[in-house]
Amino acid sequence: MQKRLVLDEKQIAITLRRFCHQLIENHDDFENTVLLGLQPRGTLVVDKIVELLEEISGVTVPSGYLDATFHRDDFRRRDLPLTANETKINFLVEGKKVVLVDDVLYKGRSVRAAMDAMIAFGRPQKVELMVLVDRKLTRDYPIMPDYFGVRINTLESQYVVVEWKEKGHEEDAIWITEKDKS
């Protein structure tokens, strides 16, 4: 399988720091802001952002993990049932500025489902979206990120793979590969 590197470890680190500085500019002291990592792949990204924000600004931003499995529009259309991940939110989002964090924005379906799932925790004042990779020109829904690491054009036959050292890979990296045709 042929792979093309999109971002290497150094570029990912720069992108995560840039995200933090953008968040600081837009949310100041984070008094009314929370970050939610979308399960399963946005959780590692949100953890890295929260850790960097604390290092840079000294502020611990409330964060959690949001699973949208049961809010997906394809939930009942699959041959095998989807396995839900843990939702871990120990606060209400009522009146808060919420930043949803994920690794890749593709069709927009997961983000739409996440917004539905989030409403169970209250009505936010504002919702923003942060993604490492924006696969532009592939949306099924009119959803655009407020913060993105890189925008790329991809074909339907391609897949974006995000690798993390924490998940057993040699280094952090983002790749474009061809989807397995089997």
What are 30-76's pLDDT values in tens digits?
999 999 999 999 999 999 999 999 999 999 999 999 999 877 666 55
Quick one: pLDDT at residue 182? 56
Quick one: pLDDT at residue 175? 97
Arithmetic mean of pLDDT over the chain: 92
Strand ranges (E), the chain? 3-7, 33-38, 63-66, 97-105, 126-136, 147-153, 158-163, 173-178
> Hey, is 181 helix, strand or coil?
coil
Residue 63 contacts residue 36 (beta carbons within 8 Å): yes
> How deeply is 51 buried, as exposed, middle or buried, from its count of CB atoms within 10 A (0-12, 13-18, 19+)?
middle
Rounded distance, CA 88 to CA 74, Å? 23
Q: Hey, what CATH topology would domain 9-69+88-150 get?
A: Rossmann fold (3.40.50)
Quick one: pLDDT at residue 171? 96
Beta carbons within 8 Å of 9's beta carbon, 6+ residues apart: 171, 172, 173
Strand ranges (E), 20-146? 33-38, 63-66, 97-105, 126-136
Quick one: pLDDT at residue 106? 94
Quick one: pLDDT at residue 111? 96
Rounded distance, CA 72 to CA 165, Å? 29
pTM for the full predicted model: 0.92
